[in-house]
Amino acid sequence: MGIVSAFVVFSVTWFLALYCLLPVRIRSQEEAGDVVPEGSMTGAPSNPNLRIKMIGATVISGVITAVAWYLITNRIVTLATLEGVLG
């Protein structure tokens, strides 16, 4: 696996992990009891904790990229094995 391939795997899994983590532990402004400013939706997140979610997405995608790199570098997964599985 080359550096470009690893970067692509990391990028795709990072965004996928981030999108999966975004709705976790979200409380709306209304549920949190915050004063909802004029022009804001009551269902808007009170505190989205984006920094923690970005760190979590980085850790998850780093692990997935490391596993993919190991499997491809040690020839555990090759095109021949994928052809046998996929048909």
User: Could you read off the pLDDT of 25-78 as tens digits, one per residue?
Assistant: 988 888 888 888 888 888 888 888 899 999 999 999 999 999 999 999 998 988
Return the DSSP state at 5. H
Name 70's Cβ contacts closer than 8 Å, sequence gap at least 6.
Answer: 76
Claim: this prediction has a pTM higher than 0.85: no
| 3-24 pLDDT, tens digit each | 999 999 999 999 999 999 999 9
Domain that holds residue 82: 3-86
Q: How many domains does the chain have?
A: 1
Q: To 5 degrees, how large is the angle CA 69–CA 73–CA 78?
A: 100
